[in-house]
């Protein structure tokens, strides 16, 4: 490693460069900092900066952004859309202020004239973590009247969930209620959001271009940087992934475990792809050949038949292997197959949305069509399927330790249906189908909402049962390499000690070396009564609270539906009892940790 390279992920500058930069900007006002950030962004893009105005009195009006774009993102998709939108706006000559909503002061809303929001939604219709405060502010009495604001909302979601695109709907409704005018109606996008997002973006820029470039100051200040994030853009993206090599896919649960969890290592080779601990890896996958053949046989179609998807031609077999989702389904497919087959059971499901959602969560396409066989034209069938989407896995390694590799902890999703075992799309591909040496198409999904504290002396508490352990393995590698001196406390849980203690040897090594200060484990099925990580947190209530009081950052990773909620509720109890607070005050305590980026979740 080169001298000064250790903190590459955090600063990209060596210590001397960083010190001179800090000295140079020490006396700058916030406005001057904003101008400088734009100046540097333009310079890094190779644009001519000679024409940029100097910071004279008149320039302050010029750096005032005409258009504010806010994004809130659970997985990075909304951020990706917002960044592209900001670039198009800039190219159209509009001055843009692009921000993660958690970095935006909601009170500034009253001085905005034009606002675009791109947001995702959490599983049960809640705002993503980074948007919780903005969401609460808009719904509260504190929200100002916004009679002069023009806005539009793009919401990303998954139509198989009951509260589809709810956060976007909430923002739209509240802005309207506060008197703002929608310059273009809200657009709700499903899992394959790219095309809808692109046409909304094009339309909105066309609509705003004229009025926002009239003043003559447009385009002067480039897009503001994203506070707190140092991202190196890669040529390899979700749309243009890197064809990496699968090095290792090793089972790390015991022979008698109820689960098959793999430690996966992927070689990023010469790609130049970089990631920070806390990021996720996007993995494109192919559906298994056996499953595709079974589906084509059940449909009584021919593998070689030609079909077209958005104007591109494929054989049916190719389309079902690499273009279309066949392991996950949604109520819309049940509705489609009910109408094709006329099956009474499916028709009944169509009438009961919750039942349809549950049924689609537990059945793959092949199970649905096998249970109600019917003739269908290949093209009609293909038109009813969703485009395949990559899966995101929390990265389980630090590049300071593994350099051009990336490690994942993959739980094989599997279940029995009529005596046949069905596997998850990407987890099946990574564990059953792709042999070591196979090509895996990947990209890095940055996640600024799950970051180690910048100061290595800050203590961290990590709660990661099951595959939720992954990012904490990365955290430990990073803190080890950085020789960070802050305390580290890990809460891990799984079914049994002997079969499911993921990375047990590594944790023991870290305990021995002293890097890991404390580890508490909860093996739920090693005794008659279930014991979970939150029980361990409760048993250690006093010390957990002490750690928080001395500035610890708190992280949760793993199951979103049950575990993360139960752990949150336990934390509320612990903070209330130890801090002598009411439950509401304890919630506020956690809220303030969250807004100070000291309480972060990566849950799925
Ligand atoms: P799990 O979270 O299923 O299990 C880990 C440990 O947590 C087990 O000991 C389990 O106990 C325990 N547990 C169960 N309920 C709770 C609870 N309410 N609070 C705290 N602990 C609890 O680990 P996995 O690695 O198998 O999976 C992680 C999670 O990730 C899954 O639960 C699933 O929700 C999610 N997941 C999501 C996928 C997706 O595509 N969205 C794919 C794969 C997993 P016990 O089982 O004995 O009750």
- The better pLDDT of the pair 131, 44 is held by 131
Dist. CA 511–CA 488, nearest whole Å: 10
Closest approach atom of ligand 1 to CA 525: 47
H or E element in which residue 207 lies: helix 194-213
Taking the centre of ligand 1 as the mean of its atom positions, its distance from the CA of residue 126, in whole angstroms, is 20
Low-confidence winner among 18-22, 104-108, 218-222 (lowest mean pLDDT): 218-222
Q: How far is the CA of 466 from the centre of ligand 1 (A)?
A: 6
Extended beta strands in 485-590, E state: 488-494, 518-523, 553-558
Q: Which residues pair with 249 in a beta bridge?
A: 264
For the ranges 65-79, 270-284, 422-436, 583-597, which has the lowest average pLDDT? 65-79
pLDDT tens digits, residue range 452-507?
Answer: 999 999 999 999 999 999 999 999 999 999 999 999 999 999 999 999 999 999 99
Report CA(569)–ligand 1 centroid distance (Å). Answer: 17
**Interstrand relation of 518-523 and 488-494 (parallel, antiparallel or unpaired):** parallel
Across 56-60, 83-87, 233-237, least confident range: 56-60
Closest-lying ligand 1 atom to the alpha carbon of residue 561: 34
Are 389 and 192 contacting, i.e. CB atoms less than 8 angstroms apart?
yes
Residues 302 and 215: their CA atoms lie apart, in Å, by 61
Ligand 1 center to 332 CA (angstroms)? 27
User: d(Cα 207, Cα 184) in Å, to the nearest integer?
Assistant: 8
Mutation to probe ligand 1, out of 123, 251, 282, 466 (largest number of atoms < 8 A from CB): 466
Tokens of 533: 């990580």
Residue 411 three-state SS: strand
Using the predicted structure, report yes or no on whether residue 264 has a pLDDT greater than 90. yes
Distance from Cα 254 to the centre of ligand 1, integer Å = 17
Token duo for residue 187: 């657009």
Tell me, in angstroms, the distance from the centre of ligand 1 to residue 97's CA: 40
Q: Is the CB of 525 under 6 A from ligand 1?
A: yes
What is the pLDDT, as a whole number, of residue 38?
Answer: 55
pLDDT of 532 higher than 90: yes
Dist CA 211 CA 189 (whole Å): 27
Whether the per-residue pLDDT at 112 is higher than 70: the answer is yes
Question: Which residue, judged by its Cα, is nearest atom 20 of ligand 1?
Answer: 563
Residue 437 gets the label, from left (phi > 0), alpha (psi -120 to 50) or beta, of left
Supply the pLDDT for residue 216: 46
pLDDT for 589 beyond 60: yes
CB-based contact 246:430 (threshold 8 Å): yes
pLDDT in the model for residue 29: 54
> What are 214's two structure tokens?
């009239």
Q: Of ligand 1's atoms, which has the minimum distance to the CA of residue 391?
A: 40
Classify residue 293 by burial, with Cβ atoms within 10 Å: 0-12, 13-18, 19+.
middle
Establish whether residue 532 lines the binding site of ligand 1, counting it when its CB lies within 6 angstroms of any ligand atom: yes
Contact (CB, 8 A) for 277 and 415: no
Q: What percent of the chain has pLDDT over 70?
A: 88
Q: What is the mean pLDDT of the chain?
A: 89
562 pocket-lining for ligand 1 (C-beta < 6 Å): yes
Q: How confident is the model at residue 573 (pLDDT cuts 50, 70, 90)?
A: very high
Q: Is 426 in the pocket of ligand 1 (CB under 6 A)?
A: no
* DSSP secondary structure of 436-475: TT-EEEEEEE--TTS---SSTTS-EEEE--GGGGHHHHHH
Distances (CA, A) of 268 to 103, 243, 265, 499, 555: 32, 8, 10, 31, 27
Q: Comparing C-alpha atoms, which of 114, 122, 184, 198 is closest to residue 153? A: 184
Residue whose CA is at the smallest distance from ligand 1 atom 24: 466
CA contacts within 13 A on the Cβ side of 521: 17
What are the Cα distances from residue 355, in Å, to 330, 361, 372, 422? 11, 10, 17, 21
Check pocket membership of 533 for ligand 1, CB cut-off 6 A. Answer: yes
Distance between Cα 125 and ligand 1 center (Å) = 21
d(CA 260, CA 413): 8
Cα 28 → chain centroid: 34
Distance from the alpha carbon of residue 19 to the mean position of ligand 1, in angstroms: 45
Q: State if residue 411 touches ligand 1 by the CB under 6 angstroms criterion.
A: yes
Q: Which atom, in ligand 1's list, is nearest to the CA of 523?
A: 9
Per-residue pLDDT, 227: 36
Query: Is ligand 1 within 6 A of the CB of residue 467?
Result: yes
pLDDT of residue 25: 74
Cα 281 to ligand 1 centroid, rounded to whole Å: 20
Rounded to the nearest angstrom, the distance between the alpha carbon of 565 and the centre of ligand 1 is: 12
- Look at ligand 1, atom 10, and give the residue with the nearest C-alpha: 494
Q: Is 239 exposed, middle or buried (0-12, 13-18, 19+ CB in 10 A)?
A: exposed
Please say if the pLDDT value at position 30 is more than 60.
no
Q: What is the 100 CA–ligand 1 centroid distance (Å)?
A: 30
Run of H or E residues at 44: helix 30-44
Q: Rounded to the nearest whole angstrom, what is the distance from the C-alpha of residue 391 to the centroid of ligand 1?
A: 18
Q: Is the pTM of this model over 0.85?
A: no
Q: Ligand 1 in contact with 559 (CB < 6 A)?
A: yes
Mean pLDDT of 1-16: 48
Ligand 1 proximity of 604 Cβ (cutoff 6 Å) = yes
Report the separation in Å between the CA atom of 487 and the middle of ligand 1, taken as the mean of its atom positions.
26
Which of 285, 410, 415, 563 for a ligand 1 pocket mutation test, highest count of atoms within 8 Å of Cβ? 563
Encoded tokens for 332 = 């819309």
How many Cα atoms are found within 13 Å in the side-chain-facing hemisphere of 426? 18
Cβ of 136 below 6 Å from ligand 1: no
Per-residue tokens: 391: 């899966």
Mean pLDDT of 102-122: 91
Pocket test for ligand 1, best of 75, 390, 431, 465 (most atoms within 8 A of CB): 465
Identify which of 363, 507, 446, 556 has the alpha carbon closest to the alpha carbon of residue 83. Answer: 446
Q: What is the pLDDT of residue 192?
A: 85
């Amino acid at each position: 490693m080169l001298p000064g390279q250790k903190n590459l992920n955090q600063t990209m500058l060596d210590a001397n460069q960083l010190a001179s930069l800090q000295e140079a900007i020490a006396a700058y006002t916030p406005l001057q900092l904003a101008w400088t950030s734009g100046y540097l962004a333009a310079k890094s893009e190779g644009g001519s900066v000679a024409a940029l105005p100097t910071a004279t009195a008149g320039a302050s009006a010029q750096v005032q952004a005409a258009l504010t774009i806010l994004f809130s993102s659970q997985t990075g998709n909304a951020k990706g859309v917002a960044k592209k939108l900001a670039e198009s706006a800039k190219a159209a000559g509009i001055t843009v202020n692009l921000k993660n909503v958690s970095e935006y002061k909601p009170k500034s809303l009253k001085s905005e004239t034009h606002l675009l929001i791109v947001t995702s939604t959490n599983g049960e219709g809640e705002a993503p973590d980074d948007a919780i405060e903005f969401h609460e502010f808009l719904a509260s009495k504190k929200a100002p009247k916004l009679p002069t604001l023009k806005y539009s909302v793009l919401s990303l979601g998954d139509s198989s969930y009951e509260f589809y695109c709810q956060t976007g709907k909430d923002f739209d409704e509240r802005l309207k209620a506060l008197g703002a005018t929608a310059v273009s109606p809200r657009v709700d996008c499903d899992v394959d959001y790219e095309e809808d997002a692109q046409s909304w973006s094009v339309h909105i820029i066309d609509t705003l271009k004229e009025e926002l470039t009239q003043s003559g100051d447009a385009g002067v200040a480039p897009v503001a940087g994203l506070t707190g994030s140092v991202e190196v853009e890669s040529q390899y993206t979700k749309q243009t992934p890197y064809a990496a090599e699968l090095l290792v896919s090793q089972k790390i649960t015991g022979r008698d475990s109820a689960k098959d969890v793999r430690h996966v290592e992927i070689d990023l080779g010469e790609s130049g792809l970089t990631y920070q601990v806390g990021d996720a890896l996007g993995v494109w996958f192919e559906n298994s050949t056996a499953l595709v053949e079974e589906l084509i046989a059940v449909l009584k179609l021919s593998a070689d038949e030609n079909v077209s998807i958005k104007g591109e031609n494929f054989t049916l077999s190719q389309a079902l292997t690499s273009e279309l989702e066949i392991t996950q389904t949604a109520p819309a497919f049940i509705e489609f197959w009910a109408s094709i087959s006329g099956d009474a059971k499916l028709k009944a499901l169509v009438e009961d949305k919750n039942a349809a959602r549950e049924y689609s969560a537990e059945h793959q396409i092949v199970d649905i069509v096998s249970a109600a066989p019917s003739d269908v034209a290949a093209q009609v069938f293909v038109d009813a399927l969703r485009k395949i989407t990559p899966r995101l896995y929390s990265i389980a390694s630090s590049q300071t330790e593994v350099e051009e590799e990336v490690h994942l902890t993959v739980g094989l999703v599997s279940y029995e249906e009529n005596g046949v075992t069905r596997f998850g799309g990407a987890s099946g591909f990574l564990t059953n189908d792709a042999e070591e040496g196979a090509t895996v198409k990947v990209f890095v999904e940055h996640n600024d909402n799950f970051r180690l504290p910048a100061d290595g002396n800050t203590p961290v508490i990590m709660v990661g049962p099951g595959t939720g352990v992954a990012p904490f393995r990365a955290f430990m590698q990073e803190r080890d390499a950085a020789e960070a001196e802050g305390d580290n406390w890990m809460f891990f849980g799984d079914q049994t000690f002997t079969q499911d203690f993921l990375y047990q040897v590594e944790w023991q090594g870290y305990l021995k070396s002293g890097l890991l200060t404390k580890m508490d484990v909860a093996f739920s099925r090693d005794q008659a009564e279930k014991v979970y990580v939150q029980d361990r947190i409760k048993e250690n209530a006093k010390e957990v609270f002490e750690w928080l009081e001395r500035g610890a950052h708190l992280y949760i990773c793993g199951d979103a539906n049950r575990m993360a909620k139960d752990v949150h509720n336990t934390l509320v109890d612990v903070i209330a009892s130890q801090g002598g607070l009411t439950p509401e005050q304890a919630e506020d305590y956690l809220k303030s940790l969250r807004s100070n980026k000291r309480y972060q979740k990566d849950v799925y």
